[in-house]
Each structure stands twice: as C-alpha cells, then as structure tokens.
Structure 1
C-alpha cells in the first residue's frame, strides 16, 4: 500500500480479495495446472498421431490409384479397390472411445443401451456423441452412421 493509505481490511489493493492462498492450496493449484498442461500436451500428441495416420492412409490410396493406372484397371475396379483400402482408414482418426460409440450407434443402440454397455452415465454418452459429431462434421445419428459406413464425403 502507499504511504498515504493505512494498512487494514478496508484498505485493500483494488482487485484483491483480501485472503491469501495457503501454501498447500497454492501447491495443489500448481499441480492441477501442471496436470492440465500435461493432458493438453498428450491430446495434442494424439491429434498429431491421428493426423499422421490419416496422411499415411491417404498415401496408401494414392499408391493404390497409381498401381491401378499401371495395371490398366477401369474406373469401377479402381474405385472398388480404393473403397476397400479406405473403408476403415477414416475410423483410425477417432479416439478409441469415440470409435466404440460410433460402432454402437451404427448397430442401432440407444444412448441408454450404450451407457449400460460401457458402464457410464447417459449424460457422458451424450458428451462423447457431441464430441464425435464435431470431430467428423455431422449433426445427426443418421449422418454419423453414413460416415461410419462410407467414410467422409469426398470433394471430388
């Protein structure tokens, strides 16, 4: 405080709440912050790994297309071969839990049935589904099942 303001509970610095954090609380907050940073770093590493897997799958499709051209396959044969190679590649981009959930959605299971099978709450299932929809760019169960069965739409 300045020399013209006496110390006391009514003369605190602006923005101060007057209570100091205890040493244990400060250490706990620092540990939680480190844990959150570590989780964020792990998530970023997982995202980079999934992106690398997706690039590898795209490279496999390009190589298959080149092979089809070299062997003189017609367009339909080449498309069938691409579909076989890329059929499950799009699922590799999903985290394991989202992959489990989209498989159950495709099997026609309700949120309650998924929750019972995974031993989680229906609200947690809804959270997973919202994250899944955002990741794959769909807004409904029907679109999610189509994505699961056919892969993402191509912008050919």
Structure 2
C-alpha cells in the first residue's frame, strides 16, 4: 500500500516523498490554526499532522476557546494555554464555563482532555502520540467508569 501511495505521489508530481516517513507538500490548503509549524514552515506531512489538528480540537473542547483570536494575547490557543500553565495558574481556570463542572470527576475529565490535547500539539512532531495511544487513553478512562 505504501508503494502504491509513493507511486501515486510521483505520478501526480506535486509532492516529494521522503524515505524517512514523511512527505514534503508543495501546496498548502486548510485552516491555518489547525496546521502545525512543521507543515507551515517546511511543508512536512506525516500522520502527526492530523494528531496536531486533533489536539487543537481537544483544546477547543476543553476550554471553549477558538483556536485563533486576533484580540487575544497570545492569539494561538496552544500558546495561550501553555502560557497560562507556565504561569502556575490552576488549569481549571481554562475550563469551559459552559460545561458546568459539578464534581472532581468532571474536573478529572477536563484535565485529561486538556493534557491529551497538549501532548498532541508539542512542537516536535516526532514526540506527539500516535492515534492508537490517544484512543487507548480515552478507552481506559471510559472502561474504568
């Protein structure tokens, strides 16, 4: 299957396949807030590209914030959440207030979603989890309830 994919890319002649597991894209399409730096700067495509986008969605779900807001400092949700965490503020201030957390279990779920989202958006794409790890994390919690 990978050989077929490589052939397809060569036939299309728009992207450059690398032997180390990623592709260099020649055209950018998509919502920029969901695209990681390695793609925006170097056009690197890997499975970790989707993991990053999923991490942004998890941060949105946990916080209720939009991924990019021009009037927020910092504008990017990843930088905003990380900056609040570095400042030592309790992560519950990031919780989407519309969720109405009523118990420690609710806060635990929020924390799991937030922390998983942050793991998905680390700058070095090689350090991001694979989707199987993310799914297993959520399945473990689901099965323990």
Q: TM-score, normalised by structure 2?
A: 0.31
Q: TM-score, normalised by structure 1?
A: 0.30
Q: Comparing both structures, which one devotes a greater share of its residues to strand?
A: 2
Which structure's CA Rg is the greater one? Answer: 1
Q: Comparing both structures, which one devotes a greater share of its residues to helix?
A: 1
